[in-house]
Amino acid sequence: MSRLSLLTLGLLSVLPLAVCGNIFYSDGVRQCFPHGFQVSERPLTCEKADWFRYYTCGETGCDYHLQPWVFAVVSFIVISFLCSLVCSLLRCICCVNDRR
């Protein structure tokens, strides 16, 4: 099986989860009921989710979170940088006599 077909199968396996919004985008909540909420009190209204943040309910009210795709992009950039740095150091250390 070629690399392209394996890559396509890998991406297609993640597609149903991405369409449902469970991996890359979270909607958050609109209202929160804090810990010790009394029936006569009004619930807290959370801000609307956008592409970079969303809110969930915590003990004291609305909790701020970053969207999951932000973590994926940042971790990809960091891993790419570290791999590039390690490969450059290995090339520099191992190939000292191979100067052109």
Over the stretch 42-93, which tens digit does the pLDDT of each residue have? 788 888 888 888 988 887 788 888 888 888 889 999 999 999 999 888 888 8
How many DSSP H helices and E strands does the chain contain? 2, 4
SS3 54: strand
- pTM here is 0.56
